[in-house]
Chain A
Amino acid sequence: MIGCNRVRNLISAYLDQELAGGEMLAIRRHLAGCAACEREYRATQRIKRLLGQLPEPAGPAVEWPGLERAQSLRAERQAGAVRALWQRRRRFLRAGVLTMACAVLLAMLAPLSRPGDPNTVVARLRPSLRAMLATEERTLATEWVDLPTVAPAHWRDADWRSLPRWRGFAGVRLTAYTDIR
């Protein structure tokens, strides 16, 4: 007697008639009396039939071009592959050089862009904001000052960390405003 698990493991081989006579017979008998295994068999058979019906590709590519033509096509493919490789390498190289150039430029410009004193910071603010600061519209002014971009690093380091998170920016801005003043 053959069990369902064994039958299901052998269903593909049974379908392909790749089993010995005794096993073929045992599975045939089992399938005749077991609806679940019969369903498995039908489903596997359906897959096999679908694959067997797949059409052959058509078109000029499926004709043998002859040895010489095949060889010249291969040479073209290899040349194309080498070209593509070099293009990829050139792109990487270009990106690397550009990145390094940007890094060098930033390193050179960094000291210039660092504000040295409050007046520098004020000078970098937009004119409307400078006007607000001058008229002491503090509330409005603090909403507009984007300290992380205009303030010297030591302000940010000193004040930002000491304030609760929820009022961090406003607090720093107030400090900055006071310092600027």
Chain B
Amino acid sequence: MKPLNPAGRLPSTVSAEEALPQALTSAHAAPEDRALFESLAERHYRQAYHIAYRLTGSHADAEDLTQEAMIRAYQSFHRYRRELPFANWLYRIIVNLHIDTLRRRPRAWIDSVDDLPGASDLPDLESDPADRVISRELDARLQQALNQLSREFRTAVVLCDVEGLSYEEIAEVMQCSIGTVRSRIHRGRNQLRRLLGVH
């Protein structure tokens, strides 16, 4: 074991790969990959967290999911094709991890539809610019409605409407056909309309 320097840090002769815990090293990752990965992670973490939060509906789960996805992404970084968007590759890992988590964990709670707002409570973003800022309460209600969708519908709707991915990109992330994505988004939105009373 190499001694620590007075500042409590590893000596500068230790490479980045040596400094990493074993679980973090990727068999094919070069040291420069780590720097690249860190910069990509820093750039995309916030948006990935947003997706994870909309999928899980809880900050604690979103934090766990995003960090776990990042660690897995680093471990598989040698398989990442650099010509493709990093974000979409990361979203695919998040979606797959989310599926695994749901399979392992029974559904914890289902909110009552009665608690959701009626159409009159929802702002019309088109007509009134003052309503363009979504209140915390409305955010929570929309999230509550999202939580009631099935996993497939919620993922498709979140990737399309929250993240703004195209159907082709969503199909790639969810590993299904574009027709399936179209159907899931359509049905997911219809369910949200019913839950929120938007006619």
Say whether A71 faces chain B, with CB atoms less than 8 Å apart: yes
Asked whether, in the complex, the Cβ of B198 is within 8 Å of the Cβ of A46, the reply is yes
- Tell me which of B34, B143, B167 has the highest count of chain A C-beta atoms within 10 A of its own C-beta: B167
Asked whether, in the complex, the Cβ of B125 is within 8 Å of the Cβ of A49, the reply is yes
In this complex, the interface size class of chain A, counting residues with CB under 8 Å from chain B, is 35 or more
**Which residue of B19, B21, B68, B196 contacts A47 across the interface (Cβ within 8 Å)?**
B196
Instruction: Tell me the nearest residue of chain A to B187, going by C-beta.
Output: A12
A5 to B21, CA, bound (A): 58
Asked whether, in the complex, the Cβ of B164 is within 8 Å of the Cβ of A50, the reply is no
Asked whether, in the complex, the Cβ of B47 is within 8 Å of the Cβ of A56, the reply is yes
Say whether B115 faces chain A, with CB atoms less than 8 Å apart: no
Asked whether, in the complex, the Cβ of A67 is within 8 Å of the Cβ of B34, the reply is yes
Task: Enumerate chain B residues within 8 angstroms of A43, measured Cβ to Cβ.
Answer: 193, 198-199
Task: Enumerate chain A residues within 8 angstroms of B172, measured Cβ to Cβ.
Answer: none
- Tell me which of A11, A45, A53 has the highest count of chain B C-beta atoms within 10 A of its own C-beta: A53
Describe A's contact surface by its main secondary structure.
helix
Task: Enumerate chain B residues within 8 angstroms of A47, measured Cβ to Cβ.
Answer: 161, 189, 192-193, 196, 198
Task: Enumerate chain B residues within 8 angstroms of A65, measured Cβ to Cβ.
Answer: 67
Asked whether, in the complex, the Cβ of A62 is within 8 Å of the Cβ of B132, the reply is no
**Which residue of A18, A59, A63, A70 contacts B71 across the interface (Cβ within 8 Å)?**
A70
Asked whether, in the complex, the Cβ of A57 is within 8 Å of the Cβ of B59, the reply is yes
Asked whether, in the complex, the Cβ of B67 is within 8 Å of the Cβ of A54, the reply is no
**Which residue of B23, B50, B68, B126 contacts A57 across the interface (Cβ within 8 Å)?**
B50
Say whether B160 faces chain A, with CB atoms less than 8 Å apart: yes
Chain A nearest CB from B109 CB (Å) reads 18
Given contacts A43-B199, A61-B59, A67-B34, contact A54 B64 (CB under 8 A): no
Task: Enumerate chain A residues within 8 angstroms of B198, measured Cβ to Cβ.
Answer: 43, 46-47
Task: Enumerate chain B residues within 8 angstroms of A56, measured Cβ to Cβ.
Answer: 46-47, 49-50
Instruction: Tell me the nearest residue of chain B to A52, going by C-beta.
Output: B161
Chain B nearest CB from A30 CB (Å) reads 16
A52 to B161, CA, bound (A): 5
A129 to B198, CA, bound (A): 70
Task: Scan B63-74; emit 1 where CB is below 8 A from any A CB, else 0.
Answer: 110011011001
Asked whether, in the complex, the Cβ of A50 is within 8 Å of the Cβ of B182, the reply is no
Say whether B134 faces chain A, with CB atoms less than 8 Å apart: yes
Given contacts A57-B62, A67-B34, contact A50 B24 (CB under 8 A): no
Task: Enumerate chain B residues within 8 angstroms of A72, measured Cβ to Cβ.
Answer: 21
Task: Scan B172-199; emit 1 where CB is below 8 A from any A CB, else 0.
Answer: 0000001000100110011011001011
Asked whether, in the complex, the Cβ of A53 is within 8 Å of the Cβ of B125, the reply is yes
Q: A residues bordering B, Cβ < 8 Å?
A: 9, 11-13, 16, 18, 39, 43-57, 59, 61-68, 70-74, 77
Known: A13-B182, A55-B134. 19 other contacts (CB 8 A): A13-B185, A18-B178, A18-B182, A43-B193, A45-B126, A46-B122, A47-B161, A50-B125, A50-B142, A54-B142, A55-B139, A64-B42, A67-B20, A67-B34, A67-B37, A67-B70, A68-B24, A74-B67, A74-B71
A-B CB proximity, top 3 nearest: A64-B45, A51-B161, A12-B186
CB<8 Å pairs between A and B, sample of 21 = A9-B186, A12-B185, A13-B167, A13-B182, A18-B167, A43-B198, A47-B192, A47-B193, A51-B142, A51-B192, A52-B162, A52-B164, A54-B54, A55-B134, A57-B53, A64-B42, A64-B70, A66-B38, A67-B34, A71-B21, A74-B68
